[in-house]
Structure 1
Amino acid sequence: MVPHRARLHGDRPSRARPLGRLGRTALASVVLLGVTGAGTVYVTAQAHDAGELVSSSASSRTRTKATTEATVEPVTASASAEPTPTPASASASGDAALADALGSVAVEAGARLSVAVLDTESGRSAVYGDGAFDTASIVKADILAALLLQAQDAGRELTAQEKTYASAMIRDSDNASASALWKAIGQARGLAGANERFGLDGTEGGDGALWGLTQTTAADQLTLLRQVFGDADESLLDEGSRAYLRGLMGDIAAGQDWGVSAAGPTGFALKNGWLPRTATGLWDINSVGRVTADGREYLVAVLSDGNSTKAGGISMVESAAKAAVTALTTT
């Protein structure tokens, strides 16, 4: 059967791909939709950080709901095992101080919040909450870190095309570029291979092309940030790779520089993720990065879900980032 076609939001169509598990959220603005005789849904997507596709059954009856931001898509490379650097442990007093500081942050009923923070000079760190969250677009930093590690293993530099994708993916949070690099690293398998070496043990890549539905923890995001911004002798990334990723995260497009930057607005590098879930109408709002406050550098990861609005979620994440830095400053 020839798929029926529909254009939504005026996005530019690209090559359609089968969507892995029906019923899972597809993070993207939908531009082409069809159903084969076997009931396989095909979709192309492009946008910034959200959108969902739902199949009601293995039939030609489908419904879609897309928003203005999003994620999707995906040669393969698998990293060999290497010793992983051990992340700094959060002290009991640091965790308690962080929990106390976050007590002043307004979290609406039904929302969840998890925070991890590290003072790079003293090595003090703290974690609040250990649940797993959708990454949305913060996974883009992890995708690039995995690509850089794979390139190092192969003894090569990134190609010009890979650099074009990487720049758009990090600076502008471009989803089509993320999809291309997700495919280049080997999707979830490639991400897992790199993350095992980086020391991320609570992160699981999204199914098939759904990189935005990768699951992660605040502690894992802090571990990843240490690979990029921490001590060079504790990182598997060489200095060239680290400097490249730091540079992109320090040059985020205007309008996307909210989040952990609230804790250090005069010096920061970050990646944000934002995703409204069609099933609930609630928002995932995440922000990870490095900030400078009172002359000291901090690595901060703030993850949240269940926010009723994007603006409200951003406000909570920013308040949590400020509280996290204050907690380490006063302990």
Structure 2
Amino acid sequence: MRVRGIWPFALLIMAPGCAAPSSGTPRPAVAATHEPAPKAVQSALPADEQRALDRALEHYLRKRPGRASVAVYDKTTGARYAFRERTPFMLASVAKVDILLAFLLTKQREGRLVSAYEHRLADRMIRNSDNDCAHELYMTIGGQDGLTRVLRKLGVEHARPGPGLSWGSTRSRPSDQVKVLERLTDPSGPLSARHRRYALRLMSSVAPEQAWGVSAADGEAALKNGWLPAQVHGGLWTVNSVGRLRVRGHELLIAVLSERSPDMETGVATVEHLAKLAVNALTRAETTVEAVS
């Protein structure tokens, strides 16, 4: 994939601004129209399959710059998998999914409808990755303290929201972002059906040039990506992607986080390949995980 026309995002950590989209070959996120799969009993990925996937991911990442991690929950089978997630990652614009969840829960708790103005903020924050809109909603939910309270109540234990204007510096493990996606999409979760549909509609219709990432695993995708040349890493790129996928009869929640890529294009390639490997393993694709290229 060639990624062109990227604007610097180092200021995301310091101050808000409209996030410029990446360009290249888009993979449009397709609006999901099916009912959610029945909730399965949660389980770990079978040991032999986990070892095979571990080996495939390790083999691939040995040849890649920086570091990366992935977590997946297959809602159809109940299988969970996580790889190399001990040390948290900066979320960049993936934090906007956390902000959206907290905002919708706040409106529910207050018994208030989302106003037309707030709809515009949420739409632009998710569909266009607008940083100004994210900042305004972050302040609406109480900033760092407000988002932390919501996440802890939801059992999202390891996410650390950024202070002040620095919501993009929120740090998290992939499995905690999978939990955020669970709370956002689960019919038995905290969000009303109307708010779940709204959130998924936004994530299913991001700007085409921003629809890369976990969508590379094919199927129907509702996603949000984050990308940033991080000052804390000397300008090396943080590139992340999270979302819900429907692939080969499976409904999966997936988070792929990476950092220290030399450029955005390299980070996108890493994230997309990890998503393909993990999804193919959990959906038992005809191609084995070792054979995916």
Q: TM-score, normalised by structure 1?
A: 0.72
Structure possessing the higher relative contact order (Cα contacts under 8 Å, 6 or more residues apart): 2
> For each residue in 1:95-147, what CA deviation from the matched residue of structure 2 results, as whole angstroms up to 9, or x when unmatched?
43431331343455651111001111111110012220000000101101001
Cα distance, 1:214–1:190 mapped onto 2, change above 3 Å: same
Cα distance, 1:190–1:89 mapped onto 2, change above 3 Å: farther
Question: Is 1:151 equivalent to 2:122 in the alignment?
Answer: no
In structure 1, which of residues 27, 36, 40 is the aligned counterpart of residue 12 of structure 2?
27
Give, in whole Å, the separation in 2 of the partners of 1:117 and 1:49.
28
Q: Let me know the Cα RMSD of the aligned residues.
A: 2.2
Give, in whole Å, the separation in 2 of the partners of 1:49 and 1:224.
25
Give, in whole Å, the separation in 2 of the partners of 1:120 and 1:45.
35
Which residues of structure 2 form unaligned runs of 5+? 1-9, 22-40, 286-293
Question: Is 1:165 equivalent to 2:136 in the alignment?
Answer: no
Question: Is 1:260 equivalent to 2:200 in the alignment?
Answer: no
Q: Whose helix fraction is larger, Structure 1's or Structure 2's?
A: 2
Cα distance, 1:89–1:188 mapped onto 2, change above 3 Å: farther
Task: Kindly provide the amino acid, as one letter, of the partner of residue 19 in structure 2.
Answer: H
User: 1:225 corresponds to which residue?
Assistant: 181
1:146-295 map, 5 Å = 146-230=102-186, 232-233=187-188, 235-264=189-218, 266-279=219-232, 280-295=234-249
User: 1:98 corresponds to which residue?
Assistant: 53
Aligned length in residues: 254
Residue pair 1:101, 1:324 contacting (<8 A) in 2 also: no
Task: Kindly provide the amino acid, as one letter, of the partner of residue 209 in structure 2.
Answer: G
Cα distance, 1:107–1:142 mapped onto 2, change above 3 Å: farther
In structure 2, which of residues 79, 86, 90 is the aligned counterpart of residue 134 of structure 1?
90
Residue pair 1:201, 1:220 contacting (<8 A) in 2 also: yes
In structure 2, which of residues 44, 48, 66 is the aligned counterpart of residue 111 of structure 1?
66
> For each residue in 1:243-277, what CA deviation from the matched residue of structure 2 results, as whole angstroms up to 9, or x when unmatched?
1101100001010000000012x410000000102
Q: Return the offset for 1:281.
A: 2.2
Residue pair 2:214, 2:243 contacting (<8 A) in 1 also: yes
Larger radius of gyration between Structure 1 and Structure 2: 1
Which deviates more from structure 2 when the two are superposed, residues 278-287 or residues 184-193?
A: 278-287
Give, in whole Å, the separation in 2 of the partners of 1:49 and 1:276.
13
Q: TM-score, normalised by structure 2?
A: 0.81
Q: What secondary structure is seen at the aligned counterpart in 2 of 1:178?
A: helix
Q: Return the offset for 1:26.
A: 4.4
Give, in whole Å, the separation in 1 of the partners of 2:102 and 2:62.
33
